[in-house]
Amino acid sequence: MNTDPDSPRDDAPPKVKNEYKFSHVTTQRYLPTPGKAPGWPFAEIGHWKTDVNGSSDDWIAELIDWRREHLTRIGYDDTHYRRPELQWAQRNFVHAQMMVEDRYFHDPVAGRYTVDRYLDDLEARFGGIDSVLLWFVYPNIGIDDRNKSDLAHDLPGGIDGLRSAVDDFHRRGVRVFLPTMPWDNGTRPPEQNDWNAIAGLVKALGADGINGDTYNGVPRAFFDACDALGHPVVLQPESTISAEEALIWNVQSWGKKAPNEIVPPVAKFKWLEPRHMINYENRWGRDRNHDLQYIFFNGIGYNAWENVWGIWNQLTPRDAETLRRIAMIERQFATAMVSMDWRPYEHTLQAGVFASRFPIDGLTLWTLVNRNEYDVTGEQIAVPHREGTRYVDAWSGGALQPRIDGEQAVFDFAIEGRGFGALLAVSANRNIDGLDDFLARMHALSAVPLRSLSNQWHSLPQSLVSIEPTKPVVEAPQGMLTIPAGDFDFAVGGVEIEGQTWEGNDVQYPWEGSARRGHRRRIAMRAFHIDRTPVTNAQFRAFLDASGWHPRDAHNFLRHWKNDAPPAGWDSKPVTWVSIEDARAYAQWAGKRLPREWEWQYAAQGCDGRLYPWGNDWNDAMVPVTNRARTLRAPDDVDAHPDGASPFGVLDLVGNVWQWTDEYVDEHTRAAILRGGSSYQPQTSHWYFPQAHRLDQHGKYLLMAPCKDRSGCVGFRCVVDAT
């Protein structure tokens, strides 16, 4: 039932000019559609009564007045849109947020960046990207006290290595964004404020833009700080701009959650400033047809984000091919896409087909979307005709011969269900570089109907990294305890902040068909021996002294040590700042191995399903004191809490330092399962790496390279196989 007094009854006729209340929408992402008042739930009942052709002319006229007044109210100045060094943003049609942990970007075996491999894959699947956001923070930030700037310096090769990757992107014509966020106030305090810190990093790397995570408009301070260094950048807020004045210095933004109704919505900030580039983002979407129709109708760009915090959400073949064709058209006619005379809701001749007009001197492009589920054939659109005009079907790459009806040219062509069309009119005296080659490519692509391509989404298979068994022994070696054989109900779930319960989240155990958040299996456990405590600094020093081992990538290795030795009083504390590779090297030297996750949990939990090693109720006395400060403190000694032992007598399982167990790999991402949680809990944000003190929970830690993976809050213990 409609209870809004300002919106019509379900059976009322559409509202027209002078009945809109634009003040209702000035803070919204999208403008109300013609023939529909704000709040009318016409997508549910009666949307077939909407007469866009009958009301759009009045609607556009009033919306032009609204734009003029609104720009006056915010004191609009278009200086930054006219700056040549920032105008690349107006051609930034396909953007991608990229996790630095993606194995297509960095090869962990060779230890080098592989930008060409990453870009070649995107070009093959959907035509490539115009810009990339190098994401190196969340979801791992907060595992220890490293702040967002620290994590950039901890990437392979440090700043010099990352600069080489940026140079590789530039060599391929791809612009580079770096992230910043206002919520990182719980980790190590930075030496300078956010805007000066990111400006220095941007200049050092030669980056082109700044993405403001969770910002509804990146503050002007970031723009000014970069400008002061002689390195102007494009600002790109993650969230839709809320304070309209930010449109002046944010020449680009992301867009989100466009209403999926029969009438495609108009992007508010594209209307206010047609040169403002929006990259629409729907990272969890699995059918992106609506997203793609929305960007084509509005003449804006897309955020082709597929690796979402280590969860692979790939574009389906149909959506990928759709994006390729849209991007080809938008890139070919980039100057038209930012036409100041852009007009949405051009009159069309078919119900459910909507068009926008993008005119520039001697050229006009109409983009069409078919919101119907079925193919629409016949006459689609009539446009003003002028003798000598060349008409082209820019979507299928063929010439068009219209029916001339007085001063109108009427066009007959087909549009697939949920499909796309594009009409190009070129005046007799206008030459377009590369037009014939472009049309030939579109003609070849159109031979494959979009409907013939799969739109079925599949999660990416994961595999568990194998662990070589040790030489079995009967008795537990010194410092170890024997865990007897038995039937064990292994029940655990991931604590990832995002991903809900969708397929592909968390990990895929060998007995499962896909990755998912929750896991349960009854396992017949074999006997094994496990370290009574985590490996200590003293034990790790003995390993180094005896073996002479040194990692190939030594950045952050034993970062807390001084002069190749642990700090005074740290001998009995768990060793940290060791990667999973470092831990494996120690285990191999000791004739041991890292535990399987279910072995770790069985040793901690026993057979009664308890939530903590000591029972079902949390007890502060059993664990180190929680550290809510901004910097790390020393861990407790590994034997400092004997009452917190598990049913088998295993110590220091929970709340001191996380412990390495298994590693999972898919085509794009590596991740380690961490158990036990730590005492460090940075405050001020729920985005920090979540704790998992309960024995039915685990942490998933994305892996890139030892230099970045090592942490002051992650240690390990070992196991030995029993006969």
CATH number of this structure's domain 532-721: 3.90.1580.10
Per-residue model confidence as pLDDT tens digits over 635-656: 999 999 999 999 999 999 999 9
Give the Cα separation of 126 and 323 in Å (integer): 6
**145 φ, ψ to 5°?**
-90, 10
Residue with tokens 């759709």: 322
Structure token digits, residue 90: 């107006």
Confidence of residue 219 (pLDDT cuts 50, 70, 90): very high
Confidence of residue 36 (pLDDT cuts 50, 70, 90): low
Per-residue model confidence as pLDDT tens digits over 398-410: 999 999 999 999 9
For position 22, what pLDDT does the model report? 38
Give the Cα separation of 328 and 437 in Å (integer): 12
Helices 537-547 and 580-589, packing angle to 10 deg: 70
Residue 193 burial class via C-beta count within 10 angstroms: exposed 0-12, middle 13-18, buried 19 and up: exposed
Confidence of residue 16 (pLDDT cuts 50, 70, 90): very low
Confidence of residue 44 (pLDDT cuts 50, 70, 90): low
Top-confidence residue, 41 or 422: 422
CB-based contacts of 685: which residues, under 8 Å, 6+ apart?
142, 183, 184, 185, 186
For position 543, what pLDDT does the model report? 98
Top-confidence residue, 564 or 39: 564
Per-residue model confidence as pLDDT tens digits over 409-422: 999 999 999 999 99
Residue with tokens 């702040």: 147
* Contact present, 338 and 90 (Cβ < 8 Å): yes
pLDDT at 135 over 60: yes
Structure token digits, residue 711: 């942490």
- Interval 544-567 mean pLDDT: 97
Residue 215 to residues 210, 212, 243, Cα–Cα distance (Å): 11, 5, 11
Query: 321: helix, coil or strand?
Result: helix
Structure token digits, residue 633: 């403190």
For position 241, what pLDDT does the model report? 84
* Contact present, 263 and 36 (Cβ < 8 Å): yes
For position 30, what pLDDT does the model report? 77
Confidence of residue 285 (pLDDT cuts 50, 70, 90): very high
Residue with tokens 């998992």: 692
Q: Quick one: what percent of the chain has pLDDT higher than 90?
A: 90
* Contact present, 522 and 489 (Cβ < 8 Å): yes
- Interval 105-114 mean pLDDT: 96
Least confident of 46-55, 329-338, 472-481: 46-55
What letters, b where the CB count within 10 A reaches 16 and e where it falls short, cover 416-444?
bebbbbbbbbbeeeeebeebeebbeebee
Confidence of residue 13 (pLDDT cuts 50, 70, 90): very low
Q: Are strands 528-531 and 719-721 parallel, antiparallel or unpaired?
A: antiparallel
Residue with tokens 């077939």: 48
Three-class SS of 232-271? CCEEEECCCCCCHHHHHCCCEEEEECCCCCCCCCEEHHHH
pLDDT at 17 over 90: no
Listed residue (388, 385, 395) closest to 424, CA to CA: 395
Phi-psi region of 438 (alpha: psi -120 to 50; beta: other; left: phi over 0): alpha
Give the Cα separation of 400 and 344 in Å (integer): 23
For position 242, what pLDDT does the model report? 83
Domain boundaries, the chain: 22-73, 532-721
Least confident of 8-12, 55-59, 146-150, 558-562: 8-12
pLDDT at 610 over 70: yes
pLDDT at 11 over 60: no
Give the Cα separation of 34 and 290 in Å (integer): 19
Instruction: Report the chain's mean pLDDT, rounded to a whole number.
Output: 94
In the sheet that holds 252-256, the strands lie side by side as 234-237, 209-212, 175-180, 131-135, 94-99, 301-303, 277-281, 252-256
For position 240, what pLDDT does the model report? 79
Q: For the residues of 276-301, what is the DSSP string, one character each? A: -EEEEE-TT-S--HHHHHHHHHHT-E
Residue 145: CB atoms within 10 Å: 21
For position 29, what pLDDT does the model report? 73
Q: Quick one: what percent of the chain has pLDDT higher than 70?
A: 94
First to last CA, the chain: 71
